[in-house]
Amino acid sequence: MQQLIRFAALALAALFASPSIAASLPEGQSKADYLAWLAKDPGARAEVLSFKSYLGAAGVDEVVPTWQLVRTASMWRECSGPRFEVAPMTEWTHIAGTLKFVKEHVEPVIGAVEAVSGFRDEALNHCSGGAKESAHRHFFALDLMPLGDISRPGLMRSICKIHDLRGEEDHIGLGFYTGTRFHVDSKGFRRWGADGKGATSPCNTGIFA
């Protein structure tokens, strides 16, 4: 019954999703683009099916749609990188841990989320400004945006509270970007603000703006 209620809540949040999300996404990474990518590449189709099967076995296939998990970086076009890519199989356990945290602690508080960036290969990560040891490199990380109508200050307060309560125990990294885009990974406990520095994390400063 609890699972049924959760799915109903997520569906309701998606129904009333903020239009600002679509406007903030780069061209070329929509679901239609994903389907076109699959249609052209039988190898990619096989990899996605294997990945989805793994997520199902791990109990995290319903957290966000699988197609969103293969989005790479928002700057894929500028960097001449892939718009979609399935991470190496050896990295799948990493994202399973992150998705478990999102499922159990993030979505129950802020509602459904959309994944806008996941695995990045070394070249794309470097070109897009990611840290050399970015958690995206080994598929620990997701950049997310809430589907529901939540303000930036409200998002920060909610996610920081979650991180205060569960972040250290679950080895969670948390970062905030512009608007309501935020980063979650399961690589290790840390937090940072829009400039990439821990000192500016709203969770540390208490400034939610």
Report all structural domains of the chain as residue ranges with CATH numbers, in order of start: 2-13+21-205 (3.30.1380.10)
Residue 52 in contact with residue 67, Cβ under 8 Å? no
What integer best gives the mean pLDDT of the chain? 90
Ordered strands of the 173-176 beta sheet:
113-117, 141-146, 182-185, 173-176, 190-192
Local confidence band at 11 (pLDDT 50, 70, 90 cut-offs):
very low
Check residues 23 and 203 and name the one with the higher pLDDT.
203
Q: What is the pLDDT of residues 47-90, one digit of tens each?
A: 999 999 999 999 999 999 999 999 999 999 999 999 999 999 99
At residue 99, the pLDDT reads 98
At residue 55, the pLDDT reads 98
Local confidence band at 130 (pLDDT 50, 70, 90 cut-offs):
confident
At residue 13, the pLDDT reads 41
Q: Any idea which of 9-18, 116-125, 147-156, 170-179 has the lowest mean pLDDT?
A: 9-18
At residue 7, the pLDDT reads 41
Whether pLDDT at 1 is above 70: no
How many other CB atoms sit within 10 Å of the CB of residue 122?
11
Whether pLDDT at 20 is above 60: no
At residue 22, the pLDDT reads 52
Whether pLDDT at 10 is above 60: no
As a whole number, mean pLDDT of residues 6-22 equals 44
Tell me the sheet residues that pair with 137: none
Rg (CA), the chain: 16
Tell me the sheet residues that pair with 143: 117, 183
Exposure on the CB side of residue 183, measured as CA atoms within 13 A: 30
Whether pLDDT at 15 is above 70: no
At residue 24, the pLDDT reads 61
Per the confidence metrics, is the pTM higher than 0.75? Answer: yes
Q: What is residue 167's DSSP assignment?
A: I
Local confidence band at 21 (pLDDT 50, 70, 90 cut-offs):
low
